[in-house]
């Protein structure tokens, strides 16, 4: 597999979301004959129900000092931006203990540095993929805004802003006048904010993934709408995949990039990885009758306004609900209610609610690695809230691993082996 002369081979990518399709496109660029398998329609994935941001400096993990003290509040306040269903607590407790172990300052800095070495390459890695698409303007050029109710919210962010600055990312503080100039709809509503000039947002999360998929197919790729039942194997190597329909697709290379769905293959992959699906709810207003120009994070409200071609998308709330839990769309209604407090003129007719299950690992870093059991199977999952941001960069790294090249970035921090240590952390 590591012979550069043997680069042209049949490859199967399991998972057709943003990470999967980017892996497929980069394998295609390496000369592989690629089949992409996913049970959903192109674009109908977790990243569809995201804020659509290329959040390049969102490298600070969710775990923060004192996070354990906040868990009782998450249990009691089911309307807050972060909520934990009481029924989910017993099952998710081991994950939480590992999560809390990442709240040390030294660990936060380590994780941020690891993630920054990837996010600095986001636009460079997406460029060749977007150049091959019919619509090259899917990624907007406007920066992202974050607003706060009070100076204390901004003050709370300053240590994180300093760390981001050390890592080479930009931000600018905004006063009331600057916020009003950038977003007239929010004039007079907020006096404290931030501008992230190196962030961007896509115009349509669903359309973005669908367009990349169309480009993949146009370049000779095959997309099969089905569920992978198992990875076929012989003598510690994958030989292809068998689908739920019974059909089999031979392959000399397999990539598992199915988000939370990757869990079903852990036994075959030879890994024990604490991958949790954390629900993120969204509401889409097709005719909001309010002009929002930028993607705007309302920090204290716990949600984001994301203008898209299909309407104004409002969301971002997080719920720890446990595996196989039914969605609670009351949380989406709560988001919408909060948004109308900020913008009472919002028109909510024909609203559409959605939920995406973000594949989170306790240290909020993805796994980008080779299976320790099946040498010709690669793993790319666990991107949490940064699947859209890191899709192309992950695809490039998977292409490097498939070709036997040493990636330009150190991917040791994204090894699956980091969870083999006591406490689940390297």
Domain boundaries, the chain: 4-48+207-273+364-424, 62-106+141-200+275-360
Query: pTM for this one?
Result: 0.94
Q: What CA–CA distance (Å, rounded) separates 315 from 335? A: 6
pLDDT for the residue 68: 59
**Residue carrying structure tokens 């809390």:** 100
40 three-state secondary structure: coil
Residue 382's nearest CA partner among 354, 411, 414 is 414
Following DSSP, what letter does each residue of 327-396 receive, concatenated?
P-THHHHHHHHHHHHH-TT---TT-EEEEEEEEE-TTS--EEEE-SSSTTEEEEE--GGGHHHHHHHHHH
Strand intervals (E) in 205-351: 222-225, 228-234, 237-243, 248-250, 253-256, 276-285, 296-298, 303-308, 311-320
Domain 4-48+207-273+364-424 coded CATH 3.40.50.1970: no
99 three-state secondary structure: helix
Instruction: Give the CA radius of gyration of the chain.
Output: 21
Asked if 10 and 37 count as a contact pair (C-beta separation under 8 A), the reply is no
pLDDT for the residue 215: 97
How many CA within 13 A on the CB side of residue 139?
A: 21
Q: What CA–CA distance (Å, rounded) separates 277 from 274? A: 10
- Type and span of the H or E element at 194: strand 192-196
Q: What CA–CA distance (Å, rounded) separates 27 from 10? A: 10
Q: What CA–CA distance (Å, rounded) separates 74 from 119? A: 30
The CATH code of domain 62-106+141-200+275-360 reads 3.30.9.10
Two tokens, residue 141: 């050029």
pLDDT for the residue 291: 96
Walk along the chain (426 residues) and give the pLDDT tens digit of each residue: 344 434 468 999 999 999 999 999 999 999 999 999 999 999 998 889 999 999 999 999 888 766 656 666 666 676 777 788 888 888 888 888 898 888 888 999 999 999 999 999 999 999 999 999 988 789 999 999 999 999 998 998 899 999 999 999 999 999 999 999 999 999 999 999 999 999 999 999 999 999 999 999 999 999 999 999 999 999 999 999 999 999 999 999 999 999 999 999 999 999 999 999 989 899 999 999 999 999 999 988 889 999 999 999 999 777 888 777 788 888 889 889 999 999 999 999 999 999 999 999 999 999 999 999 999 999 999 999 999 999 999 999 999 999 999 999 999 999 999 987 534 443
């Amino acid at each position: 597999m590591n012979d550069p002369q043997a680069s042209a081979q049949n490859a199967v990518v399991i998972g057709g979301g943003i990470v999967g399709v980017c892996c497929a496109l980069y394998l295609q660029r390496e000369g592989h004959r690629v089949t992409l398998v996913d049970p959903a329609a192109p674009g109908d994935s977790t990243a569809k129900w995201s804020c659509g941001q290329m959040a390049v400096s969102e490298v600070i993990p969710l775990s923060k000092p004192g996070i354990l003290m906040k868990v009782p509040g998450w249990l009691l306040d089911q309307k807050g931006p972060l909520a934990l269903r009481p029924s989910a607590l017993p099952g998710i407790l081991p994950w939480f203990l590992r999560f809390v172990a990442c709240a040390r300052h030294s660990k936060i800095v380590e994780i941020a540095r690891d993630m920054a070495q990837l996010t600095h390459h986001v636009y460079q890695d997406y460029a060749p993929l977007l150049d091959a698409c019919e619509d090259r303007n899917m990624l907007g050029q406007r920066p992202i805004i974050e607003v706060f109710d009070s100076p204390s919210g901004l003050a709370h962010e300053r240590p994180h802003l300093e760390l981001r600055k050390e890592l080479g990312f930009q931000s600018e503080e905004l006063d009331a006048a600057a916020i009003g100039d950038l977003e007239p709809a929010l004039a007079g509503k907020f006096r404290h904010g931030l501008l992230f000039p190196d962030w961007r947002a896509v115009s349509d999360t669903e359309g973005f993934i669908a367009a990349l998929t169309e480009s993949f197919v146009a370049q000779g790729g095959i997309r099969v709408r089905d569920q992978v039942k198992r990875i076929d194997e012989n003598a510690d190597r994958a030989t292809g995949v068998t689908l739920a329909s019974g059909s089999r697709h031979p392959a000399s290379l397999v990539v598992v990039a199915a988000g939370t769905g990757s869990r079903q293959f852990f036994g075959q992959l030879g890994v024990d990885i604490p991958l949790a699906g954390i629900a993120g709810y969204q509401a889409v207003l097709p005719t909001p009758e309010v002009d929002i120009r930028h993607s705007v994070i309302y920090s204290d409200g716990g949600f984001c306004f994301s203008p898209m071609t299909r309407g104004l998308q409002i969301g971002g709330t997080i719920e720890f609900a446990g595996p196989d839990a039914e969605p609670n769309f009351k949380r989406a209604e709560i988001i919408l209610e909060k948004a109308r407090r900020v913008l009472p003129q919002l028109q909510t007719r024909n609203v559409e609610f959605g939920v995406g299950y973000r594949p989170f690992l306790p240290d909020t870093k993805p796994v980008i690695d080779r299976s320790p059991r099946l040498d010709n199977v690669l793993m790319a999952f666990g991107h949490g809230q940064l699947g859209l941001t890191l899709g192309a960069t992950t695809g490039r790294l998977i292409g490097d691993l498939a070709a036997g090249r040493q990636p330009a970035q150190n991917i040791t921090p994204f090894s699956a082996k980091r969870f083999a240590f006591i406490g689940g952390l390297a």
